[in-house]
Amino acid sequence: MTTPIYQTSTFAHDGLGGDRGYSYARVSNPTRTALETCLASLEGAAHGLAFASGMAAVDTVVRQLDPGDHILVNADGYGGTHRLLTQVHQASFSPVDLADLDAVAAAWTDRTRLLWVESPTNPGLGVVDIAALAAMARERGAWCAVDNTFATPWLQRPLELGAHLVVHSTSKYLGGHSDVIGGFVATDDDALAAALTLVRNAAGSVPGPFDTFLVLRGVKTLAVRMDRHCSNALAVAAFLRSHPAMAQVRYPGLADDPGHALAARQMHGGFGGMVACVLHGGEEAAAAFVARTRLFTLGESLGGVESLIGYPARMSHASLAGTPLAADPGLVRLSVGIEDVDDLLEDLAQALG
Ligand SMILES: Cc1ncc(COP(=O)(O)O)c(C=O)c1O
């Protein structure tokens, strides 16, 4: 019933030229193959590649570009992706509000080859039109890659919306238990899959067999976990929205959220487990709030069964401090877990005072 952990670096050959499909574990490993087959099928993709981390997956996609190629990314997006583009690749890229298609068209250059999309965005929970952006990229001969970490394929399947590539941090909902770091890329494009495979094998950004096993095990409960994450997050967002301490609450599942109509079109079965809020009283009030929760643990990351609370300006997006992409200093991000919803609401109520 369970895929074995092939804890081996190499494989015996039957003879010269007879490696039975597996030669060396940087190239491939049966546990990893099982995970790749599973996640590719969830995304409806022809090809899937597992990586050592979400950032290794992002990096391998970015390495497909030539020097001087230009990238368009969400202005509100994961800080680690921006750090990779600026501090490691020194890439030519423009952060844009991808919800504004005119702004995207205006920012497009002759060298734009990659449109990097998050929806919902991290940390602001903005929603962008994946189908429209993917169509724009296709018309102009660029790739559209969607970081689907927040939604997971249970709620959103970007390839069906026209994207060329789907990227995941499997450290989040796919693993689901805050006990593994991993990444994944899916695509239908044979040539792109071969090029990604070459870079991954040459550079060695592969996950180990135990980590791939953990993600495989996590995926077995993805559907039930996501359903609970979604219903708990909706209740948390509605509670926060009604609380006088809150200046703003963003959750695509709230009927009056600016992203709700679009999210209802491109997501199915729910709106995810992430909620963003801004407190009256800005930075000081936000810092006091995150210090007082007890069931929501103050910590980096998201997507595990236990609820987490984070303060992006000083945590996940701290590397962007002092730049135009810095997170709103009043913003608090909640990763709503699968605990009893009344316990979660009680914790938030006591923390807000
Ligand atoms: C949306 C998103 N993409 C990518 C990553 C990077 O993933 P990893 O931490 O597995 O390298 C993260 C991590 O927080 C993320 O939130």
pLDDT digits (tens, 9 = 90+) for 23-67: 999 999 999 999 999 999 999 999 999 999 999 999 999 999 999
Give the model confidence (pLDDT) of 153-188 as tens digits: 999 999 999 999 999 999 999 999 999 999 999 999
Task: Write down which residue in 200, 219, 238 finishes a domain.
Answer: 219
Report the nearest-CA residue for atom 14 of ligand 1.
301
In eight-state DSSP terms, residue 24 is: B
Collapsed DSSP state (helix, strand, coil) of residue 286: helix
Q: How many domains does the chain fold into? A: 2
Q: Is the predicted pLDDT of residue 258 greater than 90, yes or no?
A: yes
Using a 6 Å cutoff on CB, does residue 183 contact ligand 1? yes
Of the residues 147, 211, 257, 347, only one is catalytic, namely 147
The answer to whether 265 is a known catalytic residue is no
The reply to whether 191 and 106 lie within a common domain is yes
Report the nearest-CA residue for atom 16 of ligand 1.
78
Q: What is the pLDDT of residue 304?
A: 98
The reply to whether 267 and 211 lie within a common domain is no
| C-beta contacts of 325-329 below 8 A and 24+ residues apart | 325/75, 325/79, 325/82, 325/95, 327/79, 327/123, 328/124, 328/278, 329/282, 329/283, 329/286
Of the residues 22, 26, 138, 188, only one is catalytic, namely 26
The reply to whether 165 and 312 lie within a common domain is no
Tell me the CA–centroid distance for residue 138 and ligand 1, in Å: 26
The reply to whether 86 and 194 lie within a common domain is yes
Q: What is the distance between the alpha carbons of residues 27 and 144, in angstroms, rounded to a whole number?
A: 27
Query: Is 24 inside any structural domain?
Result: no
The reply to whether 158 and 240 lie within a common domain is no
pLDDT tier at 20, thresholds 50, 70, 90: confident
CATH of residue 321's domain is 3.90.1150.10
Report the nearest-CA residue for atom 7 of ligand 1.
54
Q: What is the pLDDT of residue 18?
A: 82
Q: Which residues pair with 315 in a beta bridge?
A: none
Q: What is the distance between the alpha carbons of residues 191 and 212, in angstroms, rounded to a whole number?
A: 25
Nearest atom, ligand 1, residue 183 CA? 10
Tell me the CA–centroid distance for residue 54 and ligand 1, in Å: 5
Tell me the CA–centroid distance for residue 120 and ligand 1, in Å: 13
Tell me the CA–centroid distance for residue 260 and ligand 1, in Å: 24
Task: Write down which residue in 156, 190, 219 finishes a domain.
Answer: 219
The reply to whether 105 and 254 lie within a common domain is no
79's CB contacts (< 8 A; 6+ apart) are 312, 316, 317, 318, 319, 320, 325, 327
Using a 6 Å cutoff on CB, does residue 181 contact ligand 1? yes
Q: Is the predicted pLDDT of residue 71 greater than 80, yes or no?
A: yes
Query: Is 12 inside any structural domain?
Result: no
The reply to whether 161 and 55 lie within a common domain is yes
DSSP for 309-347, please give it: EE-GGGTTTGGGTTSTTPPPTTEEEEE--SS-HHHHHHH
Tell me the CA–centroid distance for residue 168 and ligand 1, in Å: 7
Tell me the CA–centroid distance for residue 98 and ligand 1, in Å: 19
The reply to whether 160 and 235 lie within a common domain is no
HEC readout, 76-126:
CCCHHHHHHHHHHCCCEEEEECCCCHHHHHHHCCCCEEEEEEECCCCCCCC
Best probe residue, ligand 1, of 39, 51, 53, 55 (max atoms within 8 Å of C-beta): 55
Query: Is 15 inside any structural domain?
Result: no
The answer to whether 100 is a known catalytic residue is no
Query: Is 302 inside any structural domain?
Result: yes
Q: What is the pLDDT of residue 64?
A: 98
Domain extent for 264: 222-352
Task: Write down which residue in 188, 219, 250 finishes a domain.
Answer: 219
Report the nearest-CA residue for atom 10 of ligand 1.
54
Query: Is 340 inside any structural domain?
Result: yes
The reply to whether 167 and 236 lie within a common domain is no
The reply to whether 124 and 262 lie within a common domain is no
Query: Is 4 inside any structural domain?
Result: no
Tell me the CA–centroid distance for residue 294 and ligand 1, in Å: 25
Collapsed DSSP state (helix, strand, coil) of residue 300: coil
Best probe residue, ligand 1, of 149, 180, 181, 315 (max atoms within 8 Å of C-beta): 149
Using a 6 Å cutoff on CB, does residue 78 contact ligand 1? yes
The answer to whether 220 is a known catalytic residue is no
pLDDT tier at 327, thresholds 50, 70, 90: confident
Report the nearest-CA residue for atom 8 of ligand 1.
54
The answer to whether 26 is a known catalytic residue is yes
Tell me the CA–centroid distance for residue 57 and ligand 1, in Å: 10
Give the model confidence (pLDDT) of 82-119 as tens digits: 999 999 999 999 999 999 999 999 999 999 999 999 99
Query: Is 65 inside any structural domain?
Result: yes
Using a 6 Å cutoff on CB, does residue 80 contact ligand 1? yes
The reply to whether 212 and 274 lie within a common domain is no
Give the model confidence (pLDDT) of 290-315 as tens digits: 999 999 999 999 999 999 999 998 88
Q: What is the pLDDT of residue 322?
A: 83
Q: What is the pLDDT of residue 319?
A: 82
CATH of residue 183's domain is 3.40.640.10
Of the residues 32, 113, 157, 172, only one is catalytic, namely 172
Q: Is the predicted pLDDT of residue 121 greater than 90, yes or no?
A: yes
Give the model confidence (pLDDT) of 180-201 as tens digits: 999 999 999 999 999 999 999 9
Query: Is 278 inside any structural domain?
Result: yes
The reply to whether 215 and 226 lie within a common domain is no
Q: Is the predicted pLDDT of residue 324 greater than 80, yes or no?
A: no
